[in-house]
Every structure is written in C-alpha cells, then in structure tokens.
Amino acid sequence: MKTHGKSPIKAEPKIRFRKAIPAAKLPAPNVAKPFKRLRWTRRTYSECQPEVGQECAETAMRGQHWSNGYVANSIWAITYTEYGSGIRPRFVKLYVHGDGSVSEDWSAAKYSRREANRRAA
C-alpha cells in the first residue's frame, strides 16, 4: 500500500449517544421470589347425577412459579411430575390470594385479596 501512496480502508466510527439509553422497567413479580416452589389443590367435579349431586375430587399439586400472567394477580406455573411417570409437565394459570397462597379459582382469590386489603386498612 505504501508504494502507491494509498492507505487501507478504515471502519466507520461507532455512533455514540450523549446519554445512556433508558432500560425498560420490568413489572414486579406477583410472588415474593422468582422461581418459587408452589403448592395448590386442584378440584375436579363429576357430572351432576339425580339424588347424588356432584362429587368433588381434590388433588394436591406442586409446581414452580414461571412468570406473571396477563391478567391482574395471576401467574403462570409449571407443574412437577415424577421421573418416569410418563406425564409431561404443563403450564397452569394460577391466581394469587391475599395471604400469598395460590389456586386455580379466580373468584376465591379475588375475595381473599379483598378481605386482606380490608383488614390492612
């Protein structure tokens, strides 16, 4: 290059901002700790039969907090399954109660939060 008096091509200068770019503020998680382990009770109801009514079966469930839900006071959790059970983990939408517990029932969580706010006031 020096023999013919030319210089090599230089890279374009980087653009520099005068101030730092503001970061997006993430919403606070609805549970105290991220990736917290959760326990809740799943209730399933049978078909209504004459003279018997509906039977309710309760199953204890375990899972892990995954993220906030798109509805207020809701979260997404991923269920735990035992190794070799053949059941795949799945995402479940849960609702946060006033005392910090969770359930799949949105109406019970709503009234629990309302009562907790009333007691705190």
What is the reported pLDDT for 60? 87
pLDDT given at position 16: 79
Give the model's pLDDT for residue 84: 66
Q: pLDDT of the chain along its 121 residues, tens only?
A: 567 777 777 788 788 778 887 788 877 777 777 778 889 888 888 888 888 788 888 888 888 988 888 888 889 999 887 776 777 888 999 998 888 888 888 888 888 888 888 888 8
Looking at residue 37, the DSSP 8-state letter turns out to be E
pTM exceeds 0.75 = no
CA distance 105 to 111: 11
DSSP string, 46-99: ---BTTTB--EEEEEEEEEEEEE-SSTTEEEEEE---TTS-PPP-EEEEEE-TT
- The answer to whether the beta carbons of residues 91 and 74 sit under 8 Å apart is no
